[in-house]
């Protein structure tokens, strides 16, 4: 696997663009993603029962082939009743008309404020405009990425290449947005966080199961604020433009998809609302991978763990309390917790007892490590071979400010 | 039911005291509660699997009669291994010796920093001292209340009286602590938040089921930060000193216990770390009471709802998104959400569509109501007769400060 500098239009046969159509005051707010031929698709949607109109539409359509995606930011078209559903259909119809393809092949996604109607005149005019401007290359990637952001500070993208045994080089690339309302618990046909992964590899059918597995190890293991969104969607589109054999069961290909997904997931957390630190948590020694994932999610979701990390406080008690709340099995005499940064680490708990005394040299070292921006944490539950990784961020004054002072 | 000014020693036959023994630097840190005769007790403990030593001890003892409770603050004696268990037993033994009663009749509770050993020399000396100082009256109540606080700003107490049909007047009173790590999901023999309710009523046996029902409508419906503690305990002690008939199935008595429990629970939320507002949420129209409770807990736990309330933002979308995440059944066309304060209210959502337009007069009114300290919210799910009440607080800069800047 070769990590490359690339974006959604790096795989062959994909085009994109991002423009300002007038939903937001100034920033880009409308993106389009287009494949020269219909792509095999796997979609995953939020499990929140309060689904936005575009999600509802996508689920009703049972889409497994997609040629274009139209995405707006600044307005979520969520909890907008029958009018919202009409608007989502109109978005899809406008894009289909402008591109000369069937509406069934057009995916729709929205993100932004909940509970307001879309300004359809501006949006439909925007869709007409953007369809004529599509192109490939880093500038197009960049503008498409910019146009799907809300409270995000940075764009999120990742790309890599895999050379198949027959010599075919396939490219996998993705973009994502997400900063708040991030607590994905995605299922194929049910998921959370806005992300689009393109590839020119050949897939013979919609890879729902593999895509679920990939999501379980990436987007489903991040948390910013515990609130699962009404709107998010995660899509894999494979248009086969690279040729070669189908990769449905190709290990290297799926490793590469996992790399792109994990990279995007981490970028979402790192740009979490108000976040100043990335927490990379490894859970091992669990009864099963599932219990390891559950434990990981509880820990990175804990407000007390998140504020302790913000304050550079090696408060292992909060981590173990969150472990206890997860309901997963552990053997306290064998539980081991370390925290670290830049390759250095401190053991906080081992052999059933705390390892760092208040005001000790070790505590000073732990505080120093926790004041870095990249925090690693390793928790072994001491009962089995289950393992998982999870990614979270700290809870800061800025998070409160962003969510108290603005309607988002 | 007569609401009175009273505390844990107002019911006949109860004494209490609170002193400084040296766990904290200056503030009171050791409380004792004593009944002149052994009291029928119902205890509920945290469901967190990472249980503190005193909780572990209480569960092992299967206590259903209690004559005295010794409680320290400033140190949770949690995640302290075998030494912690020895210390919890020593606390109970010291108190039993000082009071001349059997150790089985002594309850033990701790709250404070996790993962540090108790200073047993100071604590045992303190227990000797406090046993000789017990008394009844508002000053004793007050000092006992003070001695169980941690990051709390105020004491929490409530009391009321009920006159039984035979003319007997029984008194019910309680004290509680709790400010952070508050997300109770208590079960009798498994619960969360530190609270002690005393009564001189006669109970013929431990009222586990009734106590569970009461907890389900009070402490189990509050949330400060989503983190269930390792330490919390909720106790009802009935010493029968008032005489009269047993109240095991007396409706008025249990209504009075519920009043005291709900009053204490609301006081805990109102003193939630950094909280500036109390959110009183009523959920109706649910498929069942259980689904109403689940929905209520999801909404008051949502960081986005909590920050919106802090910012006085009538962001109904965040409330309905949290409702969607609860998994409970709803009929969007019949869902109705109102917010209010001081008897006035604004309808935010009804008939499947938002009711308040951006920048409208109604929005200005909603913002004004949300800037008050006591916010009421009513959500009808439109599918059945299930109902529940839940209480939460806002998420503020001060919450982040308290939990990032201090080891708690």
B contacts of A228 (beta carbons < 8 Å)? 321, 325
The SS3 call for residue A170 is strand
Q: How far apart are CA B231 and CA B56, in angstroms?
A: 9
* Cross-chain residue pair A49–B327, CB shorter than 8 Å: yes
The SS3 call for residue A347 is strand
Among A364, A400, A408, the residue to mutate for chain B (most B Cβ within 10 A): A400
* Cross-chain residue pair A48–B225, CB shorter than 8 Å: no
Query: Is the torsion defined by CA of B324, B330, B333, B336 positive or negative?
Result: negative
Alpha helix positions (H), A132-207: 138-147
Does residue B153 come out as left (phi exceeding 0), alpha (psi in the -120 to 50 range) or beta? alpha
Q: What percent of chain A lies above the pLDDT cut of 70?
A: 95
Q: How far is B328 from chain A (nearest CA, A)?
A: 8
A contacts of B51 (beta carbons < 8 Å)? 324
A contacts of B228 (beta carbons < 8 Å)? 321, 324-325
Closest CA to B6 of B178, B136, B152: B136
Q: How far apart are CA B141 and CA B135, in angstroms?
A: 9
* Cross-chain residue pair A310–B400, CB shorter than 8 Å: yes
Q: How far is A372 from chain B (nearest CA, A)?
A: 15
Where b means 16+ CB within 10 Å and e means fewer, A264-288 reads bbbbbbbbbbbbbbbbbbbbbbbbb
* Cross-chain residue pair A349–B79, CB shorter than 8 Å: yes
Average pLDDT over chain B, rounded to an integer: 89
B contacts of A48 (beta carbons < 8 Å)? 321, 324-325
For the whole model, what pTM was predicted?
0.78
Q: State yes or no: pLDDT of A222 exceeds 90.
A: no
**Whats the size of chain A, residue-wise?**
408
ipTM above 0.90 for this complex: no
The predicted pLDDT at position A183 comes to: 60
The predicted pLDDT at position A189 comes to: 43
* Cross-chain residue pair B316–A115, CB shorter than 8 Å: yes
* Cross-chain residue pair A321–B180, CB shorter than 8 Å: no
Q: Which of A115, A321, A406 sits opposite B354 (nearest CB)?
A: A115
Q: How confident is the model at residue B191 (pLDDT cuts 50, 70, 90)?
A: very low
Q: What is the pLDDT of residues B299-330, one digit of tens each?
A: 998 888 999 999 898 888 889 988 988 889 99
Q: Which of A303, A351, A400 sits opposite B225 (nearest CB)?
A: A303
**Sequence-ordered list of residues with C-beta below 8 angstroms from that of A269, at least 6 positions apart, any chain:** A182, A222, A223, A224, A275, A278, A391, A392, A393
Q: What is the mean pLDDT of residues A132-149?
A: 95
**Sequence-ordered list of residues with C-beta below 8 angstroms from that of A220, at least 6 positions apart, any chain:** A184, A185, A186, A293
Closest CA to B399 of B191, B231, B193, B182: B182
The predicted pLDDT at position A191 comes to: 38
Q: How far is B268 from chain A (nearest CA, A)?
A: 17
Q: What is the mean pLDDT of residues A150-163?
A: 86
Among A317, A329, A355, A356, the residue to mutate for chain B (most B Cβ within 10 A): A317
Q: How far is A177 from chain B (nearest CA, A)?
A: 18
Sorted by where each starts, the structural domains of chain A and their CATH numbers stand as 2-268 (3.60.70.12), 278-405 (3.10.20.340)
Say if residue B225 is exposed, middle or buried (CB neighbours under 10 Å; 0-12, 13-18, 19+).
buried
Query: In terms of CA atoms, which chain B residue is nearest residue A310?
Result: B404
B contacts of A307 (beta carbons < 8 Å)? 399-400, 403-404
Q: Which of B79, B83, B397 sits opposite A320 (nearest CB)?
A: B79
Pick the range with the lowest mean pLDDT from A101-105, A224-228, A263-267.
Answer: A224-228
Among the listed residues A111, A192, A193, A338, the single catalytic one is A192
Q: Which of A48, A114, A323 sits opposite B50 (nearest CB)?
A: A323
**Sequence-ordered list of residues with C-beta below 8 angstroms from that of A6, at least 6 positions apart, any chain:** A138, A141, A157, A159, A160, A171, A173
Q: How far is A251 from chain B (nearest CA, A)?
A: 34
Active site residues of B: 192
The predicted pLDDT at position A49 comes to: 76
Query: Is the torsion defined by CA of B240, B243, B247, B253 positive or negative?
Result: negative
* Cα atoms in the 13 Å half-sphere on the side-chain side of B185: 19
Closest CA to B18 of B58, B85, B71: B71
Kindly state the tokens that stand for B136.
């009844």
* Cross-chain residue pair B399–A307, CB shorter than 8 Å: yes
Q: What is the pLDDT of residues A336-376, one digit of tens each?
A: 999 999 889 999 999 988 888 888 999 999 999 999 999 99
* Cross-chain residue pair B332–A114, CB shorter than 8 Å: no
A&B contacts, CB < 8 Å: 199
Compute how many other C-beta atoms are within 10 angstroms of the C-beta atom of residue B331: 13
Q: How far is B377 from chain A (nearest CA, A)?
A: 18
Query: In terms of CA atoms, which chain A residue is nearest residue B404?
Result: A311
Q: State yes or no: pLDDT of B218 exceeds 60.
A: yes
Q: What is the pLDDT of residues B116-173, one digit of tens each?
A: 899 999 999 999 999 999 999 999 999 999 999 887 778 888 898 999 888 899 999 9
Q: Which of B50, B82, B323 sits opposite A50 (nearest CB)?
A: B323
Say if residue A165 is exposed, middle or buried (CB neighbours under 10 Å; 0-12, 13-18, 19+).
exposed
Q: State yes or no: pLDDT of A190 exceeds 50.
A: no
* Cross-chain residue pair A307–B230, CB shorter than 8 Å: no
The SS3 call for residue B113 is strand
């Amino acid at each position: 696997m070769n990590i490359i500098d690339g974006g959604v239009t790096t795989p062959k046969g994909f085009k994109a663009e991002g423009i300002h159509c007038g939903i937001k005051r100034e920033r880009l707010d409308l993106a389009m993603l287009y494949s020269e031929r219909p792509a095999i698709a796997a979609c995953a949607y939020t499990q929140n029962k309060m689904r936005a109109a575009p999600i509802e539409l996508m689920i009703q359509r049972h889409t497994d082939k997609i040629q274009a995606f139209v995405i707006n930011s600044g307005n979520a078209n969520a909890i907008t009743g029958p009018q919202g559903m009409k608007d989502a259909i109109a978005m899809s119809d406008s894009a289909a008309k402008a591109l000369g393809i069937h509406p069934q092949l057009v995916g729709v996604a929205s993100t932004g404020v909940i509970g307001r109607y879309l300004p359809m005149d501006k949006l439909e005019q925007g869709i007409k405009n953007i369809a004529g401007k599509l192109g490939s290359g880093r500038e197009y990637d960049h503008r498409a990425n910019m146009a799907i952001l809300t409270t995000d500070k940075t764009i999120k993208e990742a790309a890599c290449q895999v050379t198949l045994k027959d010599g075919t080089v396939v490219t996998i690339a993705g973009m994502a947005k997400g900063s708040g309302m991030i607590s994905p618990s995605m299922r194929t046909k049910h998921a959370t966080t806005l992300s689009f992964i393109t590839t020119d590899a050949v897939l013979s059918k919609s890879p729902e199961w593999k895509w679920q597995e990939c999501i379980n190890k990436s987007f489903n293991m991040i948390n910013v604020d515990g609130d699962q969104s009404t709107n998010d969607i995660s899509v894999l589109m494979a248009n086969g433009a690279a040729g070669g054999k189908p990769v449905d069961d190709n290990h290297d290909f799926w490793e590469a998809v996992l790399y792109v997904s994990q990279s995007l997931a981490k970028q979402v957390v790192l740009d979490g609302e108000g976040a100043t630190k990335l927490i990379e948590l490894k859970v091992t020694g669990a009864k099963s991978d599932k219990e390891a994932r559950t434990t990981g999610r509880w820990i990175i979701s804990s407000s007390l763990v998140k504020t302790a990390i913000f304050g550079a406080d090696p408060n292992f008690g909060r981590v173990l309390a969150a472990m206890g709340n997860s309901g997963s099995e552990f053997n306290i005499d064998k539980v081991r917790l370390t925290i670290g940064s830049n390759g250095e680490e401190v053991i906080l708990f081992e052999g059933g007892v705390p390892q760092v005394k208040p005001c000790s040299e070790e505590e000073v070292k732990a505080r120093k490590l926790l004041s870095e921006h990249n925090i690693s944490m390793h928790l072994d539950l001491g009962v089995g071979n289950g393992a998982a990784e999870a990614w979270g961020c700290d809870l800061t004054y800025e998070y409160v400010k962003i969510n108290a002072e603005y309607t988002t």
